[in-house]
Structure 1
Protein backbone atom coordinates (compact mmCIF):
# COMPACT_ATOMS: atom_id res chain seq x y z
CA UNK A 1 0.00 0.00 0.00
CA UNK A 2 1.50 3.38 -0.94
CA UNK A 3 2.46 5.80 1.81
CA UNK A 4 1.65 9.51 1.55
CA UNK A 5 4.12 11.95 3.06
CA UNK A 6 4.82 15.57 2.25
CA UNK A 7 2.04 15.62 -0.35
CA UNK A 8 3.71 12.81 -2.31
CA UNK A 9 2.92 9.10 -2.74
CA UNK A 10 5.66 6.54 -2.19
CA UNK A 11 5.32 3.02 -3.62
CA UNK A 12 7.44 -0.05 -2.96
CA UNK A 13 9.47 -1.43 -5.88
CA UNK A 14 6.99 -4.29 -6.24
CA UNK A 15 3.97 -1.93 -6.29
CA UNK A 16 5.66 0.31 -8.84
CA UNK A 17 6.34 -2.60 -11.13
CA UNK A 18 2.79 -3.97 -10.83
CA UNK A 19 1.30 -0.56 -11.63
CA UNK A 20 3.59 0.00 -14.61
CA UNK A 21 5.33 2.95 -12.96
CA UNK A 22 8.85 1.72 -13.75
CA UNK A 23 10.16 3.79 -16.69
CA UNK A 24 11.37 2.16 -19.89
CA UNK A 25 14.89 2.69 -21.28
CA UNK A 26 13.47 5.20 -23.79
CA UNK A 27 11.74 7.17 -21.04
CA UNK A 28 14.94 7.22 -18.97
CA UNK A 29 16.92 8.48 -21.98
CA UNK A 30 14.34 11.24 -22.60
CA UNK A 31 14.49 12.25 -18.93
CA UNK A 32 18.30 12.36 -19.10
CA UNK A 33 18.10 14.69 -22.11
CA UNK A 34 15.60 16.95 -20.33
CA UNK A 35 17.82 17.05 -17.23
CA UNK A 36 20.86 17.96 -19.32
CA UNK A 37 18.89 20.80 -20.97
CA UNK A 38 17.83 22.03 -17.52
CA UNK A 39 21.42 21.86 -16.25
CA UNK A 40 22.64 23.84 -19.28
CA UNK A 41 20.02 26.55 -18.62
CA UNK A 42 20.92 26.59 -14.91
CA UNK A 43 24.66 26.90 -15.60
CA UNK A 44 24.16 29.82 -17.99
CA UNK A 45 21.53 31.68 -15.92
CA UNK A 46 22.63 35.04 -14.50
CA UNK A 47 22.92 35.45 -10.72
CA UNK A 48 19.65 36.00 -8.86
CA UNK A 49 18.99 39.56 -7.62
CA UNK A 50 19.73 40.19 -3.93
CA UNK A 51 16.86 39.25 -1.63
CA UNK A 52 15.35 36.66 -3.97
CA UNK A 53 15.49 32.89 -4.07
CA UNK A 54 17.76 31.70 -6.87
CA UNK A 55 16.38 29.19 -9.32
CA UNK A 56 13.49 28.88 -11.68
CA UNK A 57 10.75 29.45 -9.09
CA UNK A 58 7.64 27.42 -8.49
CA UNK A 59 8.15 23.80 -7.64
CA UNK A 60 11.90 24.09 -8.19
CA UNK A 61 12.32 26.59 -5.35
CA UNK A 62 10.01 25.47 -2.54
CA UNK A 63 9.45 21.78 -1.86
CA UNK A 64 7.09 22.59 1.03
CA UNK A 65 4.59 24.57 -1.08
CA UNK A 66 1.28 22.75 -1.38
CA UNK A 67 2.11 20.17 1.30
CA UNK A 68 1.31 19.88 4.99
CA UNK A 69 4.72 21.52 5.60
CA UNK A 70 3.91 24.77 3.78
CA UNK A 71 5.04 27.76 5.84
CA UNK A 72 7.51 25.76 7.93
CA UNK A 73 10.93 27.31 8.50
CA UNK A 74 14.24 25.97 9.81
CA UNK A 75 16.66 27.87 11.98
CA UNK A 76 20.09 27.14 10.45
CA UNK A 77 21.90 27.79 13.74
CA UNK A 78 19.85 25.54 16.03
CA UNK A 79 18.71 23.21 13.21
CA UNK A 80 15.18 23.33 14.66
CA UNK A 81 12.00 23.39 12.57
CA UNK A 82 9.08 25.77 13.23
CA UNK A 83 5.55 25.36 11.86
CA UNK A 84 3.61 28.06 9.98
CA UNK A 85 2.56 29.58 13.34
CA UNK A 86 6.13 29.78 14.64
CA UNK A 87 5.76 26.85 17.06
CA UNK A 88 8.74 24.56 17.58
CA UNK A 89 8.31 21.18 15.86
CA UNK A 90 10.07 18.35 17.70
CA UNK A 91 12.44 16.31 15.54
CA UNK A 92 11.41 12.68 15.25
CA UNK A 93 13.61 9.80 14.11
CA UNK A 94 12.41 6.85 12.01
CA UNK A 95 11.22 5.07 15.17
CA UNK A 96 9.36 8.26 16.35
CA UNK A 97 11.97 8.89 19.06
CA UNK A 98 13.73 12.23 19.33
CA UNK A 99 16.82 12.40 17.11
CA UNK A 100 20.19 13.21 18.60
CA UNK A 101 21.75 16.43 17.33
Structure 2
Protein backbone atom coordinates (compact mmCIF):
# COMPACT_ATOMS: atom_id res chain seq x y z
CA UNK A 1 0.00 0.00 0.00
CA UNK A 2 1.26 3.47 -0.91
CA UNK A 3 2.18 5.69 2.05
CA UNK A 4 -0.24 8.53 2.65
CA UNK A 5 0.81 11.81 4.25
CA UNK A 6 -1.21 14.69 5.66
CA UNK A 7 -0.53 18.12 7.15
CA UNK A 8 -1.85 19.30 10.50
CA UNK A 9 -2.79 22.96 10.41
CA UNK A 10 -4.40 25.46 12.77
CA UNK A 11 -2.07 24.46 15.59
CA UNK A 12 -1.56 28.06 16.74
CA UNK A 13 -5.27 28.28 17.62
CA UNK A 14 -4.72 25.53 20.20
CA UNK A 15 -1.33 24.61 21.75
CA UNK A 16 1.18 25.52 19.05
CA UNK A 17 3.43 23.01 17.30
CA UNK A 18 6.65 22.98 19.33
CA UNK A 19 5.61 20.11 21.61
CA UNK A 20 4.98 17.67 18.74
CA UNK A 21 7.82 15.20 18.25
CA UNK A 22 8.67 12.55 15.68
CA UNK A 23 6.72 9.26 16.10
CA UNK A 24 3.98 10.74 18.29
CA UNK A 25 0.60 9.18 17.46
CA UNK A 26 -2.27 11.55 16.72
CA UNK A 27 -5.95 10.67 16.43
CA UNK A 28 -8.07 11.76 13.49
CA UNK A 29 -11.79 12.21 13.88
CA UNK A 30 -14.31 13.39 11.30
CA UNK A 31 -16.28 16.42 12.50
CA UNK A 32 -19.65 15.63 11.01
CA UNK A 33 -21.26 18.75 12.53
CA UNK A 34 -18.62 21.26 11.36
CA UNK A 35 -20.60 24.09 9.74
CA UNK A 36 -17.57 25.57 7.93
CA UNK A 37 -16.10 22.47 6.28
CA UNK A 38 -18.13 19.35 5.48
CA UNK A 39 -14.89 17.36 5.15
CA UNK A 40 -13.33 18.61 8.39
CA UNK A 41 -11.04 16.15 10.16
CA UNK A 42 -10.03 17.16 13.68
CA UNK A 43 -6.62 16.10 14.96
CA UNK A 44 -6.56 15.11 18.63
CA UNK A 45 -3.84 14.08 21.04
CA UNK A 46 -4.44 12.06 24.17
CA UNK A 47 -4.34 14.33 27.20
CA UNK A 48 -4.78 17.50 25.10
CA UNK A 49 -7.93 17.00 23.06
CA UNK A 50 -8.12 18.86 19.74
CA UNK A 51 -4.78 20.28 18.60
CA UNK A 52 -5.68 21.24 15.01
CA UNK A 53 -7.15 19.99 11.75
CA UNK A 54 -6.03 18.08 8.70
CA UNK A 55 -5.23 20.80 6.14
CA UNK A 56 -7.88 21.14 3.44
CA UNK A 57 -6.63 24.07 1.35
CA UNK A 58 -3.93 24.48 -1.27
CA UNK A 59 -2.58 27.25 0.99
CA UNK A 60 -2.14 24.95 4.02
CA UNK A 61 -1.35 21.52 2.53
CA UNK A 62 2.43 20.99 2.46
CA UNK A 63 4.29 19.02 -0.22
CA UNK A 64 2.81 15.67 -1.22
CA UNK A 65 0.33 15.62 1.68
CA UNK A 66 -3.29 14.76 1.02
CA UNK A 67 -5.93 17.34 1.79
CA UNK A 68 -8.70 16.47 4.23
CA UNK A 69 -11.05 16.15 1.25
CA UNK A 70 -8.87 13.46 -0.35
CA UNK A 71 -8.29 11.69 2.98
CA UNK A 72 -11.93 11.84 4.13
CA UNK A 73 -13.10 8.69 2.32
CA UNK A 74 -10.12 6.57 3.41
CA UNK A 75 -11.59 5.84 6.87
CA UNK A 76 -14.98 5.59 8.57
CA UNK A 77 -15.07 7.95 11.57
CA UNK A 78 -11.70 7.68 13.36
CA UNK A 79 -8.13 6.90 12.32
CA UNK A 80 -4.56 7.47 13.47
CA UNK A 81 -1.47 9.18 12.16
CA UNK A 82 2.18 9.36 13.14
CA UNK A 83 4.14 12.62 13.31
CA UNK A 84 7.11 12.69 10.93
CA UNK A 85 8.29 16.25 11.56
CA UNK A 86 6.97 19.53 12.89
CA UNK A 87 7.63 23.09 11.77
CA UNK A 88 6.07 26.51 12.15
CA UNK A 89 4.35 26.08 8.78
CA UNK A 90 2.68 22.79 9.67
CA UNK A 91 3.19 19.25 10.91
CA UNK A 92 3.63 16.40 8.44
CA UNK A 93 2.23 13.03 9.47
CA UNK A 94 1.86 9.57 7.95
CA UNK A 95 -1.68 8.20 7.83
CA UNK A 96 -2.03 4.90 9.68
CA UNK A 97 -5.73 4.23 9.08
Fold in common (TM above 0.5): no
| Higher RCO structure, 1 or 2 (CA under 8 Å, sep 6+) | 2
More helix per residue: 1
> Which structure would you say has the larger Rg?
1
More strand per residue: 2
What TM-score do the two structures reach when normalised by structure 2?
A: 0.20
What TM-score do the two structures reach when normalised by structure 1?
A: 0.20
